[in-house]
Amino acid sequence: DTGVSQDPRHKITKRGQNVTFRCDPISEHNRLYWYRQTLGQGPEFLTYFQNEAQLEKSRLLSDRFSAERPKGSFSTLEIQRTEQGDSAMYLCASERGGDSYEQYFGPGTRLTVT
Amino acid sequence: AQRVTQPEKLLSVFKGAPVELKCNYSYSGSPELFWYVQYSRQRLQLLLRHISRESIKGFTADLNKGETSFHLKKPFAQEEDSAMYYCALIPGTYKYIFGTGTRLKVLA
């Protein structure tokens, strides 16, 4: 197991386009998180899955953002009608579950909206 | 509002000097608190969790509920400690709240 992977690593898109990112967590980890990180800030929580169930979603997330985790394995994060303000690093992390609170982060997907 | 504050964006210390990275939180319940670290060109990773009370790489952090603080300390800084450090809070659910981070530079 090579850890959490994310694809693509970089994405440049034009304003108004839709983009989709993928995260493959560590196998057997049943919690999965998405974060957004901009320059000079810490990771900002977007959403969280327990297996395939999306249990929490940030109120900061507009309706243009959606995430799925079918079958409780990999997850996708889609941003519709991208805006320049969406430019950021999008991080995925997974956790084993139970009372294990160690998040394993992926390398991130850097999104640039032109 | 639930919040994590790291007042220093950058902290520079000389090798061998003590280090204290400050973290204050805002949460009325019993918090779960963590320190995460990101070394250059590496992923963010857990350094320590308050409930474990372990010392990792010589770092310790004590939860002070009266001052709502969870400062990270190391008695003698090493050059390999240079990294970005983030304090994080779980306010009752699994929704992590991260601070803005402190960049630690250990000078030779």
Q: Six-digit token pair at A34?
A: 């998405």
**CB distance from B41 to chain A under 8 Å?**
no
A-B interface: how many C-beta pairs under 8 angstroms? 53
The predicted model gives B65-71 an average pLDDT of 94
**CB distance from B49 to chain A under 8 Å?**
yes
The predicted model gives B45-64 an average pLDDT of 88
Chain B: residue whose CA lies nearest to A102: B46
Reported confidence tier of residue B42, pLDDT bands at 50, 70, 90 = very high
Three-state SS string over chain B comes to CCEEECCCCEEEEECCCCEEECCEEECCCCCEEEEEEECCCCCCEEEEECCCCCCECCEEECCECCCCECCEEECCCCHHHCEEEEEEEECCCCCCEECCCEEEEEEC
Helix (H) or strand (E) holding A5: strand A5-7
Tokens 């990771």: give the residue: A43
Q: Which of B4, B36, B95 faces A48 most closely, judged by CB atoms?
A: B95
In degrees and rounded to multiples of 5, residue A84 shows phi and psi of: -60, -30
Q: Which residue has the higher pLDDT, B54 or B103?
A: B103
Cβ contact B48:A103 at 8 Å: no
**Residue A96 burial (10 A CB sphere; 0-12, 13-18, 19+):** middle
Lowest model confidence (mean pLDDT) among A48-57, A75-84, B46-55: B46-55
pLDDT digits (tens, 9 = 90+) for A58-114: 887 778 999 999 988 999 999 999 999 999 999 999 999 888 789 999 999 999 999
- Identify the DSSP state of A37: E
Q: Which of A31, A42, A101 faces B101 most closely, judged by CB atoms?
A: A42
Q: What distance, in Å, lies between the first and last C-alpha atoms of chain B?
A: 40
- Identify the DSSP state of A38: -
For residue A1, the model assigns a pLDDT of: 54
Cβ contact A40:A106 at 8 Å: no
Peptide linkage before B7 cis (omega within 30 of 0): no
